[in-house]
Amino acid sequence: MKLIDFWAEWCPPCKLMNPIIKEIEKEFKGKVEVEKINVDEKQKEAEKYEIFSIPTYVLEKGGKEVDRITGARSKEEFKEWLKKHL
């Protein structure tokens, strides 16, 4: 499963989530691959995924989107969201 993190350098909620995403990446190693996409540097990717607000987290299985959430979350809330799709 792939977790795509759409973020930007200037985004306070993105900065808040960064350490949580790093911890999630370690805890779910081998189960979830994390890809970070800076929306300022990769605008075409953001458009392709129709990202209108950041941070946005997109979950993909087999190359297809299965779910997405937007905004800062607690680590526990984020983990629960991920576990629903494992």
Catalytic residue among 5, 6, 7, 14: 14
Helix, strand or coil, per DSSP, at residue 3: strand
Residue 24 Cα distances to 7, 28, 37, 41, 42, angstroms: 16, 6, 16, 24, 23
Per the annotation, the verdict on 82 as an active-site residue is no
Task: Verify whether residue 79 is a known catalytic residue.
Answer: no
Catalytic choice (11, 39, 58, 59): 11
3-state SS, residue 22: helix
Residues classed as catalytic: 11, 14
